[in-house]
Amino acid sequence: MSWRAWLFTLLLVVAASPLYGADQATVNATIRDVAGKPVAGAKLFLYDSVDTRRPADFISPASDGAGRTALQLPPGRYWAVARLKKGGGYGPLMPGDKHSGEPTILEPAAGEKLAADFVIADIRDVGRQKQSVAAESVVLRGRIVDGDGAPVADAYVFASRTATAGTLPDFLSTWTAADGAYTLYLPVGGRYFVGAARQFPLPAPPGGLREVVPPAGKTEVVLDVTLTVQ
C-alpha cells in the first residue's frame, strides 16, 4: 500500500470513530472552592468505572479564571472527580492540593452538552466545614505515629460516627508537622471511629479504625493514633 492510500485509509478510520463523530458528548464543568469562588487550574478526571485509583480515561484542560472547563467524549456512564494539585502534576494529594471527594456519576447522551458543578477542598477547608459548631466540644489531641512509634508528618487524623467510614470522613484535623502533633474537635457525646492518613480523600473506606468513646464530662482526650492509610 502506498503512503497516500495508507493516509486515506487512516483518515477514513478517524472519521468513522465515535470519538470524533457527531455522536460525541460534551461535559461542561464549573469548579469552585468551599466558599463558592471559581477555581482556576483545576482539571476534571473521568473514568469508565468506579475505580478512580488508576489513570483517568479522559482528562479535561485546566479550568479558566471562571472555574470553567470542558471536554468531549463518547456518550456513556462516567465517574468524575475534580482535582487541583499545586505542582500541576499527578499522584497522591499532598497538603494544599484540592479534590472534589466522592466521584460524581455523569451520563452524557450522544450530542448532549452536559453541565456539571464540582466543589473542591483541601483537608483544612473540609476540616473547618465539618468541625462541630456546638458550644461544647471534646478535644482529641496527641500524635500520629508509624508502626515503630515515630511521629509522622504530613498526615491527619479523621473520625467518623460509624466503623464503615467513607472516603470523606465526618471530622478531620489539619496536617501534622514534623512532631506528628494533631488536634481534632468532636461534638460532645457519642462514639467515634478514628484513624490517620496521608492521602485525602481516603483512597477507599478504611478498615482497622480505633473506637473512641469520650468519657462523660471529659473535655479532652489524649491519644496517639497509628497511621492507618499511607
Tens digit of each residue's pLDDT (9 = 90 or more) over 156-186: 899 888 887 667 777 888 788 889 998 888 8
- AA identity, residue 186: L
Mean pLDDT, consecutive 10-residue segments, the chain of 230 residues? 44 41 85 87 91 85 95 93 74 71 86 91 57 61 94 90 77 84 84 88 80 85 90
Q: What is the pLDDT of residue 194?
A: 94
Q: Is 6 helix (H, G, I), strand (E, B) or coil?
A: helix
Measure the CA angle with vertex 29, ends 122 and 59; round to 5°: 80
| Length of the chain (residues) | 230
**Whose grid coordinates read 482497622?**
208
> Is domain 3-119 annotated with CATH 3.40.50.1010?
no
pLDDT of amino acid 188:
80
Q: Which helix (H) or strand (E) holds 181?
A: strand 181-187
Provide the CATH topology of domain 123-226.
Answer: Immunoglobulin-like (2.60.40)
End-to-end CA gap in the chain: 54
Give the model's pLDDT for residue 126.
53
Domains 3-119 and 123-226 share a fold: yes
CA distance 122 to 154: 13
Residue 37, classed as helix, strand or coil, is: coil
Strands annotated E in 113-178? 113-119, 137-145, 156-160, 171-172
Q: Alpha-carbon distance 66 to 36, whole Å?
A: 11
Amino acid at 45: F
* Cβ neighbours around 51 below 10 Å, total: 10
pTM as predicted: 0.51
- Which residue shows C-alpha cell 477547608? 125
**pLDDT, tens digit (0-9, with 9 covering 90-100), for 123-159:** 555 544 444 334 467 888 999 999 999 999 988 899 8
Nearest of 48, 25, 21, 35 to residue 105 by alpha carbon: 48
The one-letter code for the residue type at 123 is I
Q: Determine the pLDDT at residue 95.
A: 64
What are the sequence ranges of the domains in the chain?
3-119, 123-226
